[in-house]
Amino acid sequence: MTNKERMLHMVLDDKSLQELYNYDESEYEDLYTAINSENVVVASVARIIKHLDGSTDESDQKKVYMTVFNYINENYIL
């Protein structure tokens, strides 16, 4: 398991998030599976972890923000 996958599981393990956004953390063993999830929250968390990669550079953070923001807007159905 990679460090990114460990981080993904640390976030997705949260029971409150699981109940609120209706997902089962055990379905997402790796980053690839989570990124391709139909659950927008799971896929968004995975994208943040994948793209940010621990960077503290503000331009990198802005790119990640825009990537995730656009993904949510394109895929979240109210």
Residue 1, token pair as written in the block: 């398991």
Would the pLDDT of 33 be above 90? yes
pLDDT digits (tens, 9 = 90+) for 35-68: 999 999 999 999 998 888 878 888 888 888 888 8
If one counts the domains in the chain, the total is 1
Task: Read off the pTM.
Answer: 0.81
Measure the CA–CA gap between 43 and 46, rounded to whole angstroms: 5
Q: In the prediction, which pLDDT does 12 show?
A: 92
Measure the CA–CA gap between 4 and 45, rounded to whole angstroms: 11
Per the rule left: phi > 0, alpha: psi between -120 and 50, beta: everything else, 77 is beta
Residue 17 lies in domain: 3-75
Would the pLDDT of 76 be above 60? yes
